[in-house]
A = this chain, B = another copy of it.
Amino acid sequence: MFPASRPRAKRSARKVRPHRQVRGLRTREAILARAVDIASVHGLEGLTIGYLSEQIGMSKSGLFAHFGSKEELQMATIEAARQVFIDKVTRPAIAKPKGMPRLWALVNQWLVLVEKNVFQGGCFFTAASFEFDGRRGILRDRIAAIMREWIGVLTRAVEEAQKAGHLDPNVDPTRLAFEIHAVAMGAHWAHQLLEDRKAYSRARGIALEKLRSVATPSTPRLP
């Protein structure tokens, strides 16, 4: 999920005064922050120009000036959610030293993100994954690409931990990344649907037990 390349808002061909452009970008960001929340609750298909317009008190035509179509709004919302994920999960985690500390931080920050209700309706990307996984089209392709990026980040973190001598070199990085990802996703499910208040502590316990079982004696101490 890095480098954090984010598609920029299209610039109008007309010259825009700088402060106005900045306000436009801020407004766009504010709209998308609300859109991410709505989509996390009602799904990306539940995010319509009409509903969003009601929710933020902006005319439909005002919204159409920012996003030409529902699909464009959905795509921009996916990118905004990805940016939240980068800011709250991957960036703080890669500030940690390579190896087991970074691997654990990636998992833990993702759990914290959803536990703290950063997205109103639970994990945005898990919900979007299951909403679009049976369909075809650019939204599904983009969601799948972002999820491959995320699994790639986890897999590389496992490989780095092996190179740093923190983790058993015989472990299959793809398999360990899959397992840790699944346990975190299971926590989102149990927390959000079943209102299981122990879901996150249970997932942390399972993930730590798994990491300890493949750690070498030179692994820095895990929590």
**A residues apposed to B, CB below 8 Å:** 40-43, 45-46, 120-122, 126-127, 129-135, 140, 143-144, 147-148, 151, 174-175, 178-179, 181-183, 185-187, 189-190, 192-195, 199, 202-203, 205-206
Q: How near does chain B come to A34, taking the closest CB pair, in angstroms?
A: 14
B179 touches A186 (CB 8 A): yes
Separation of A53 and B189 alpha carbons in the complex (Å): 32
A206 touches B42 (CB 8 A): no
- 5 residue pairs, one from A and one from B, having the closest CB atoms: A182-B186, A121-B134, A41-B134, A133-B192, A133-B193
Q: Using CB atoms, name the residue of chain B closest to A187.
A: B182
B residues near A41, Cβ cutoff 8 Å: 134-135
Known: A45-B46, A182-B182, A186-B185. A131 touches B127 (CB 8 A): yes
Separation of A175 and B126 alpha carbons in the complex (Å): 21
Q: Within the complex, which residue of B120, B126, B175, B187 is in contact with A202, where a contact is CB–CB below 8 Å?
A: B175
